[in-house]
Structure 1
């Protein structure tokens, strides 16, 4: 499926009540490298991807300070490619994970380290205030099992100071989500979720009820939950669409609070992902994908 549609074809969402974003956004994780342990990618290509994403109507970019490989760093690519930023561009970042000697973000910041991480993100992105900051909890383990209040309180304080506009939480369960909301407003939840990994369906429903954005990471499969491409391809054949386009269209159809942020380091894949904003799955398609 290739069209000349832009990201606006997927509809929009009012993030935090004051930031209108197209629901098809862009994740910057794969700009520096294909995997955390993989070789660095060409930074010029990464900047070209970012500029083309904005040309295609993407106005929500998700990044993190630990998205880097060697000297190729997502924050710096974003700043060099897109600064001065368009007024409608929303940049979200995550703090919490710390990289180990192997480059894998396996460590976790303590409460007294979070201010420094936020200030570093401000400096590296060239911003006076961050639009959205997630507290990313845990490493690569499933969510739950630890309190997050002390750390979230630090970010809430930085929001009160004006360094952060909106707060989010990532890799959390329902109890941690409630713990955060008792401290300060939560604008977005970012958890592992895709068409074939819907364990957080209850949390998604709660977000929809509250008007909180749900922003799945690994929307096209990843970690220990890869996509079954053959199953998606059967639906895609009816629409002349790729399995990945079907997976993105399913996310956008799943809930009005869903914001998809597929990432890529390829211009061709970017065009393909954005075109998925215009794909409309039928009731038959949706039933087949969730059977």
Structure 2
């Protein structure tokens, strides 16, 4: 007997037929090119497409650093204490019960060489390639701006959140771990500023905001499969699906938070909260 077509294989074949066949230097380039093709096919012209990747943030950081009076330049790069305080606070958290949630993967920037992303360490005012122990750039505006422009440096996640969310005061939606590591980032910045005796207004703002972000990344719990509805529907019907989900409160969209309670990291976090090894708020 003939078998029913495999829906997953059909969907994958359809996706491949729509995607560009070009080779890309970086995954971010491929993702952005794919979205530019898929977005109008799925949503028409009713919804504007916006995607911000690490290269866009690199340009934003370069803009900040090009301004001689910007917070990022005067505080992070030109203050003798703040950057080191931030790194010290990350190390302190990593050594305690919050360890594993905010790692010091690289110091403020990743280094790209021959298509590989490499970690850096800040030593004596220099960004050092950990693998080769060679100097990559001085921790100063001119060299960093140049390397941001040629994409040999890109901001790390902490620096991305600093310019996209913390400094402008924009709340962030993210994955299931972000409600922990993002407040820790804010705490690190706040503590580093306090140690350097800087920016009391910013410190108060960071400490007093109880909802700096939320779990909102790819989270919709409902009786229907939204992706299936979008795939099968016309552009007009897709608009109706988007409007319906857009009107849904986050509390309803998140449903039972099953991804939270089943995640081993959250299980460990709950144990530490019960044992009072950590407090519900890092600012406590």
TM-score computed with the length of structure 2 as normaliser? 0.25
**Structure showing greater relative contact order (alpha-carbon pairs closer than 8 Å, 6 or more residues apart):** 1
Larger C-alpha radius of gyration, 1 or 2? 2
The structure in which a higher percent of residues are strand is 1
TM-score computed with the length of structure 1 as normaliser? 0.24
